[in-house]
Amino acid sequence: MTTLYSSRQTKQFNKYEMTCKRCGACCGADDGDPCEHLKSFRSINNDLKYYCSIYSRRSGIHKTINGTVISCVPIRAKRFETWPGRENCGYKNVANEVYPR
């Protein structure tokens, strides 16, 4: 039973992670003071995309590029928060479907 549960949990986590559009909004890309670990790149279509350079160990206290102390939490914990660009966030949209208020 534990293996089945773990397998299902891993599948759900991976499915949820795939909803990320790499917009960077949840990490401050749209507010002018993003997390210091947010990095940008150009997609094949030349769209500006983002990623976290410390993604696997991102949770905890970090700083923005201007030095503001921030707490990075799993995106599912932010589902009731607001931030610039959230209307396009794949995580936010899925979280609202999976965890309705």
Q: What is the pLDDT of residues 37-69, one digit of tens each?
A: 999 999 999 999 999 999 888 888 999 999 999
> What are the residues facing 39 on neighbouring strands?
51
Instruction: Please report whether residue 1 resides in a domain.
Output: no
Confidence of residue 2 (pLDDT cuts 50, 70, 90): low
Q: Tokens in use for 63?
A: 């700083």
Number of structural domains (the chain) is 1
pLDDT of the residue at 40: 94
Instruction: Please report whether residue 81 resides in a domain.
Output: yes
Instruction: Please report whether residue 41 resides in a domain.
Output: yes
Bigger pLDDT: 40 or 6? 40
Closest CA to 85 of 20, 36, 41, 37: 20
Instruction: Please report whether residue 59 resides in a domain.
Output: yes
Instruction: Please report whether residue 36 resides in a domain.
Output: yes
pLDDT digits (tens, 9 = 90+) for 25-40: 888 898 889 999 999 9
Residue 77: domain span: 18-98
Q: Is the pTM of this model over 0.85?
A: no
Instruction: Please report whether residue 72 resides in a domain.
Output: yes
Instruction: Please report whether residue 92 resides in a domain.
Output: yes
pLDDT of the residue at 11: 85
Residues near 93 by beta carbon (within 8 Å), at least 6 away in sequence: 19
Instruction: Please report whether residue 34 resides in a domain.
Output: yes
pLDDT digits (tens, 9 = 90+) for 59-97: 889 999 999 999 887 666 666 777 788 787 777 776 555
